[in-house]
Chain A
Amino acid sequence: MDRRSVEKTGLLSRRDFARKAALAAASAAIAPAALRAAPGISGDLANSKGQAPPSTPLSAEDQSQVDARVSAILRKYGERLSPEQRDEIRRLSTELQKPMIRLRAYPLVNSSQPATVLKLVAEAKPAPAKPRR
């Protein structure tokens, strides 16, 4: 069932869905560490928000995802990283998993549209200048 038909039949309007989804997420957020802010690895304010150590161990599946990401980094960049930096990458990758779990737990359906749209370009524009370094 696509979104249009959902809305048409009145089974679950888009706004209702948003409200229910928000409630579900709120319930899921009760676990203290799960309420941490952004993955915090990037961002422009105090972007380290949410980098406190995870309070509960990851499941085997989540841990394997972390391990896979760390392995990929070390495979590509390992030669340039110090032992301390490798440890840091492992820590950051582990901390990143918690918000990913919360994001993935948020209920969505196939018709949930992303906030990305193709903007059609109909006007000519000058080529941007290049920086000199």
Chain B
Amino acid sequence: MMLSDDVLYLPVSELGRRIHARKLSPVILAESYLARSERLNPQLNAYATLTRDLALEQAHAAEKEIGAGHYRGPLHGIPYAAKDLLAAKGYPTTWGAQPYANQTFDYDAAVIERLNRAGAVLIGKAAMIELAGGMGYRFASASLTGPAKNPWNEGCWTCGSSSGSGAIVSAALAAFAIGTETWGSIICPSGFCGISGLRPTFGRVSRYGAMALAYSLDKIGPMARAAEDCGLILAAIAGHDSRDRSSLPGSEAKFEMAPSAPSPRLRVGRLTNAWKKCDPEIASAADDVFEALKKHVAAIDDAELPAGPFDEVAGVIISVEGAAAFRELIESSKVAELADPLGRVAGYVNEQIPASDYMRAQQVREICQESINALFDTFDVIAAPTLPVAASTLDTNLEKGLSFPDPVGAIGNLCGLPAISVPCGFTSQKLPIGVQFVARCGNERAVLAAANLYQQLTDWHARRPPIS
């Protein structure tokens, strides 16, 4: 028996309720997502690997445990996909790149360990941009598995680098996915694919067992149908881990989701300088977000991001740390095996950035942190369109067609701020539009409250793409 799309598109919170009440079998749920994934993956290039045997083993174990009265929590028996830069014991972990096509690890990444403990069911490794874009890329095809296609329009891209994670959640190939972000890789695919994606505070989720791109910027977070789901998943994967040097101390890393708690009366900052140019349809959708929220929050006022060369700072830090992380690849001739022509040469250029410029960037970063922190004395969250454009076509040269300053992303990632993107409408081409909420470090509760409130007032997150 296979479950209908109506069930497969349910949010994690509802799937969990049905599993807990024994109205939904984890085994049938896993089999249904696997069947849908096997059928649609050739169309979407969303997966690097399906872990069918493991998924069924975990689903059977969950069913048995729950049947015996041992319910672990809201992720017990819930199928998910993990970006293919997270080590999964015994399965290929390719980092989306040909030079690592045969790489396996004999241990699980910390985030997979934690999801195992929560009783979640790993059904596959999500496709991704090669090396999470660490060597640069010019085309959506910069992946070992080819370009990930957007379920809303298969001629369009999902954005990267958590490209498969975006497609998987959007097309209901799993109930949720784990993505990573160094600069934009959760937020952008969530916006392009019309899903909810949470970038946690830096250090909240352990990166042990994850590919490193930029040591001081990499973060791991959930991508799901609803903000509430993101909170539930974050609660399962957050926590201190001594194996990750940047892991926050226990009390700061831990996150508890209290869905029944009353939402705080939020002070919302409407960013006036997030994007230099914004598609009018997207700007209008963002206006509607603030209109919808205004009766339900304490205040909505204009807010301005601090000015400074923060895009440049983020770029220098990523470039230098990426060159360090992949030094062996750059120095060997294997960099030539990357799919993207830019990726085959950019590492050589990044290696030459002087150490003094890297340190200077780190000095400016400290100033950026102070400036943005001051903004959060006035606002609980700041908000803006996730991106100023909708999904680009698969053949877009990203150097020309998706090239714009991104101060929200630069500052948010430089300073390790939590952010969430949730759907807030569609363009006339029926492509999703997203809005992002950003908060002070450690204040995931505020971004989740804002997004959750918005999703209680609207149903954009419940819309389904024209794929079946």
Total chain B interface residues with beta-carbon distance under 8 A: 87
B contact residues around A80 at 8 Å (CB): 333, 336
A contact residues around B309 at 8 Å (CB): 25, 29, 99, 102-103, 105-106
User: A72 touching B322 by the CB < 8 A rule?
Assistant: no
Contact with A along B311-331 (1 / 0, CB 8 A): 111111011001100000000
Tell me which of A26, A43, A114 contacts B183 (CB under 8 A): A43
Q: A15-B374, A114-B363 are in contact. Are A48 and B318 (CB under 8 A)?
A: no
Minimum distance in angstroms from A128 CB to a CB of chain B = 7
User: A112 touching B348 by the CB < 8 A rule?
Assistant: no
B38 close to chain A: CB less than 8 A: no
User: B307 touching A43 by the CB < 8 A rule?
Assistant: no
B contact residues around A123 at 8 Å (CB): 242
With CB as the reference atom, state the residue of chain B lying closest to A35: B405
User: B308 touching A73 by the CB < 8 A rule?
Assistant: no
Total chain A interface residues with beta-carbon distance under 8 A: 65
User: B106 touching A132 by the CB < 8 A rule?
Assistant: yes
Q: A42-B135, A108-B363, A126-B243 are in contact. Are A77 and B348 (CB under 8 A)?
A: yes
A23 close to chain B: CB less than 8 A: yes
B279-312 residues at the A interface, CB under 8 angstroms: 306-309, 311-312
B contact residues around A113 at 8 Å (CB): 363, 366
User: A22 touching B307 by the CB < 8 A rule?
Assistant: yes
CA distance A1 to B319 in the complex (A): 33
User: A40 touching B315 by the CB < 8 A rule?
Assistant: yes
CA distance A79 to B311 in the complex (A): 34
CA distance A106 to B214 in the complex (A): 23
Q: In the complex, identify which listed stretch (B13-21, B351-359, B440-448) lies at the interface while the others stay far away.
A: B351-359
Q: A51-B403, A103-B360, A125-B243 are in contact. Are A42 and B308 (CB under 8 A)?
A: no
User: B399 touching A73 by the CB < 8 A rule?
Assistant: no
B164-202 residues at the A interface, CB under 8 angstroms: 180-185, 188
Minimum distance in angstroms from A3 CB to a CB of chain B = 11
User: B161 touching A44 by the CB < 8 A rule?
Assistant: yes
User: B307 touching A133 by the CB < 8 A rule?
Assistant: no
B349 close to chain A: CB less than 8 A: yes
With CB as the reference atom, state the residue of chain A lying closest to B374: A15
Q: A42-B133, A44-B160, A48-B399 are in contact. Are A23 and B307 (CB under 8 A)?
A: yes
B contact residues around A47 at 8 Å (CB): 133, 136-137, 183, 318, 398
Minimum distance in angstroms from B70 CB to a CB of chain A = 29
> 7 extra interchain contacts, Cβ-Cβ under 8 A, other than A21-B308, A69-B352?
A38-B183, A39-B319, A45-B409, A48-B403, A49-B403, A126-B243, A131-B105
Chain B interface (Cβ within 8 Å of chain A)?
87, 93, 100, 102-107, 129, 132-138, 159-161, 180-185, 188, 208, 213-214, 216, 242-243, 245, 276, 306-309, 311-316, 318-319, 322-323, 333, 336, 341-342, 344-353, 357, 359-367, 369-371, 374, 398-400, 402-406, 409-410
